[in-house]
């Protein structure tokens, strides 16, 4: 038995050192490049909004009461909101669906919450933009004629005057039309679309010509080309079809950038004139890409209007203040507990303290690794679970004391103590775990990450505490008595009898 205990002790020491390394604030992170395993992660504490400062909003589909929200529509809305959030430049934003008609958005560390809200709710603008001979990679921000002045369509005077409601088309015969098919650009005769790495110019100052907008798009769907690769089929409205026919006839070989809210999402090249209102986009994209593009094509605007039903903003000063104060409070509390255990249980208390320190390190390391987002109640939950961890040790010691009072030998007292205490520990902690599960469900339905954070930290804390009680405490006690032998029994005071 002693050999096994020593081995376990080694394992515990290694585990604790690893945990301590993870917990250490300045650690370098996880960088493993070994064969197929490629891990590159920074290990830091993930702070919740109330500790970092930031904003959380819950958007709800704004439909008349009782009307069901189409699942596809809310999913599409989420994707669109997510794109906009990504454009805000926030590190680690979060966009999630919460229940069937709500989207939760979290923006940690955002500087201008008001602006962010406006951005999220704006309706999307889809444009097909004449990029001429320039391939614009996805993500390029472009200024377009429609954005600048509401102008679209083609500007060549050969435009057949069919479009009765595009009076702007004629008004664009201004010499300031900066969109020019730069003749020096070589138009390579390849027939693939979208995979050409021609360098993009700086589209920032150019104002691109909007050919048609999302209003002119009737249908968009994912299909397959003759090789089985994904392609996007689309169909335009009558008006759109006419403009498009004229445009593509005059511009075979040019690039046509598709932009959403001014950002290019795709840039296919025109192969042949599209005169029947229906066309397709083929290229080197995955099914996933195709689907995403189709979503954005179909739902140029948000498919459902969104209203804000919940808004929580925490300023950064409050967040920092909370961290400092709760760290201090936590340390004070834990130190008092350590001292108390030492005084009340003496030798066993020392063992409990060691186990507690291991417990705290391992728990916190888990929080950093998984990662678990720490909120202020989450920190409170962690500290509370320290109390629960102590409880397991206390249960074990009280049992052991009873066995020893009855005169049993140490080895059997230890064994009996642990065995009898385990049922108590297991059943009582199980009820806490159940409560945590319920709290987690409650929290996720409302984007109340505060509640969720508490549930997760308490849950993990209880689990780890059960583990450390059984392994760490038991190993240390066994070793202690194996070394000290029955001599310790004479010093009744030391073992707290």
Q: 314 to 333, contacts with another protein by CB under 8 A?
A: 314-315, 317-318, 321-322, 325-326, 328-330, 332-333
Tell me the C-alpha distance between 238 and 496, whole Å: 91
Dihedral pair phi/psi, residue 231, rounded to 5°: -145, 165
Smallest distance, Å, CB 347 to another protein? Answer: 16
- Residue among 146, 285, 454, 481 that touches another protein (CB under 8 A): 454
Give, as ranges, the residues between 232 and 261 that touch another protein (CB under 8 A): none
Tell me the C-alpha distance between 109 and 94, whole Å: 12
Strands (E), 344-470: 373-374
CA distances from 368 to 329, 333, 384 (A): 20, 22, 18
- Residue among 398, 415, 484, 489 that touches another protein (CB under 8 A): 398
Q: Which part of the chain contacts another protein (CB under 8 A), choosing from 5-13, 284-292, 384-392, 469-477?
A: 384-392
Query: What SS3 class is residue 71?
Result: helix
Closest by Cα among 346, 386, 368, 309 to 121: 309
Give, as ranges, the residues between 405 and 434 that touch another protein (CB under 8 A): 420, 423-424, 427-432, 434
Residue 448 is a binding residue for another protein (CB under 8 A): yes
Q: Which part of the chain contacts another protein (CB under 8 A), choosing from 21-29, 249-257, 382-390, 469-477?
A: 382-390
Give, as ranges, the residues between 335 and 374 that touch another protein (CB under 8 A): 336-337, 340-341, 344
Of residues 114 and 238, the one with the C-beta less far from another protein: 114
Q: Which part of the chain contacts another protein (CB under 8 A), choosing from 11-19, 22-30, 452-460, 471-479?
A: 452-460
In the block, tokens 């070589």 appear at 186
How many residues belong to the site for another protein (CB under 8 A)? 71
360 contact partners, CB below 8 Å, separation of at least 6: 334, 386
In the block, tokens 């705290």 appear at 360
Smallest distance, Å, CB 379 to another protein? Answer: 8
Buried b (16+ CB within 10 A) or exposed e, 316-352: eeebeebbeebeeebeeebeebbeebeeebbbbbbbb
Tell me the C-alpha distance between 428 and 418, whole Å: 15
- Residue among 119, 221, 313, 471 that touches another protein (CB under 8 A): 313
Of residues 422 and 467, the one with the C-beta less far from another protein: 422
Q: Which two tokens stand for residue 157?
A: 């005077």
Element (H, E) at 339: helix 316-369
Helices (H), 138-237: 145-149, 167-171
Tell me the C-alpha distance between 43 and 27, whole Å: 7
Whether residue 375 contacts residue 456, with contact meaning beta carbons closer than 8 Å, is answered with no
Q: Which part of the chain contacts another protein (CB under 8 A), choosing from 21-29, 80-88, 164-172, 376-384?
A: 376-384
Residue 24 is a binding residue for another protein (CB under 8 A): no
Element (H, E) at 102: strand 102-108
Tell me the C-alpha distance between 445 and 426, whole Å: 29
Smallest distance, Å, CB 451 to another protein? Answer: 5
Residue 445 is a binding residue for another protein (CB under 8 A): yes
- Residue among 27, 143, 275, 446 that touches another protein (CB under 8 A): 446
- Residue among 405, 441, 486, 491 that touches another protein (CB under 8 A): 441
Give, as ranges, the residues between 70 and 99 that touch another protein (CB under 8 A): none
- Give 141's strand partners: 263
Of residues 184 and 324, the one with the C-beta less far from another protein: 324
Residue 182, class by beta-carbon neighbours within 10 Å (0-12 exposed, 13-18 middle, 19+ buried)? exposed
In the block, tokens 């089929």 appear at 233
- Residue among 15, 177, 357, 380 that touches another protein (CB under 8 A): 380
Smallest distance, Å, CB 125 to another protein? Answer: 21
Smallest distance, Å, CB 395 to another protein? Answer: 6
- Residue among 4, 111, 307, 492 that touches another protein (CB under 8 A): 307
Give, as ranges, the residues between 34 and 73 that touch another protein (CB under 8 A): 50, 58, 60
Give, as ranges, the residues between 113 and 172 that touch another protein (CB under 8 A): 113-114
Give, as ranges, the residues between 200 and 239 that touch another protein (CB under 8 A): none
- Residue among 236, 450, 477, 495 that touches another protein (CB under 8 A): 450
Q: Which part of the chain contacts another protein (CB under 8 A), choosing from 144-152, 243-251, 267-275, 312-320?
A: 312-320
Smallest distance, Å, CB 281 to another protein? Answer: 38
388 contact partners, CB below 8 Å, separation of at least 6: 429, 432, 461, 462, 465
374 contact partners, CB below 8 Å, separation of at least 6: 45, 46, 47, 48, 51, 367, 382, 453, 457
Smallest distance, Å, CB 96 to another protein? Answer: 16
Helices (H), 202-237: none
Q: Between 4 and 23, how does the x/- string for binding to another protein read (CB under 8 A)?
A: --------------------
- What is the end-to-end Cα distance of the chain in Å, rounded? 26
Smallest distance, Å, CB 16 to another protein? Answer: 22
């Amino acid at each position: 038995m002693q050999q096994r205990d020593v081995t376990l002790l080694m394992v515990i020491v290694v585990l604790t050192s690893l945990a301590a390394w993870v917990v250490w604030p300045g650690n370098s992170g996880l960088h493993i490049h070994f064969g197929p395993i490629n891990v590159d992660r920074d290990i830091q504490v993930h702070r919740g909004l109330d500790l970092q400062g930031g904003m959380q909003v819950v958007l709800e589909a704004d439909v008349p009461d009782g009307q069901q929200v189409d699942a596809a529509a809310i999913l599409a809305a989420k994707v669109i909101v997510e794109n906009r959030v990504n454009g805000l430049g926030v590190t680690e934003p979060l966009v999630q669906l919460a229940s069937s008609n709500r989207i939760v958005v979290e923006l940690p560390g955002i500087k201008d919450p008001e602006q962010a809200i406006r951005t999220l709710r704006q309706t999307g603008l889809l444009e097909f933009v004449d990029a001429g001979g320039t391939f614009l990679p996805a993500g390029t921000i472009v200024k377009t004629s429609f954005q600048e002045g509401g102008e679209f369509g083609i500007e060549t005077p050969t435009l057949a005057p069919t479009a009765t409601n595009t009076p702007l088309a004629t008004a664009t015969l201004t010499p300031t039309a900066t969109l020019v098919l730069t003749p020096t650009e070589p138009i390579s005769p390849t027939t693939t679309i979208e995979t050409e790495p021609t360098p993009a110019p700086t589209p920032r100052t150019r104002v691109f010509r909007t050919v048609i907008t999302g209003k002119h798009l009737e249908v968009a769907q994912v299909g397959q080309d003759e090789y089985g690769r994904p392609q996007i089929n689309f169909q335009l409205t009558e008006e759109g079809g006419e403009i498009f026919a004229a445009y593509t006839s005059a511009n075979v070989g040019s690039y046509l950038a598709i932009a959403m809210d001014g950002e290019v999402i795709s840039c296919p090249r025109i192969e042949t004139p599209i005169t029947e209102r229906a066309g397709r986009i083929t290229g080197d994209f995955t099914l996933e890409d195709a689907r995403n593009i189709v979503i954005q094509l179909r739902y140029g605007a948000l498919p459902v209007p969104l209203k804000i039903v919940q808004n929580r903003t925490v300023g950064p000063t409050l967040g920092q203040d909370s961290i400092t104060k709760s760290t201090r409070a936590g340390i004070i509390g834990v130190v008092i507990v350590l001292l108390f255990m030492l005084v009340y249980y003496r030798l066993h208390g020392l063992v409990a303290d060691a186990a507690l320190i291991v417990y705290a390190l391992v728990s916190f390391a888990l929080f950093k690794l998984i990662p678990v987002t720490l909120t202020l109640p989450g920190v409170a939950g962690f500290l509370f679970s320290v109390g629960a961890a102590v409880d397991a040790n206390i249960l074990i010691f009280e049992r052991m004391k009873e066995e020893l009072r009855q005169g049993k030998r140490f080895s059997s007292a230890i064994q009996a103590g642990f065995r009898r205490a385990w049922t108590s520990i297991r059943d009582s902690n199980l009820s806490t775990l159940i409560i945590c599960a319920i709290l987690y469900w409650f929290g996720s339905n409302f984007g109340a990450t505060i509640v969720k954070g508490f549930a997760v930290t308490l849950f993990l804390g209880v689990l780890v505490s059960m583990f450390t009680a059984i392994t760490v405490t038991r190993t240390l006690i066994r070793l202690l008595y194996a070394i000290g032998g029955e001599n310790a029994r004479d010093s009744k005071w030391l073992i707290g009898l």
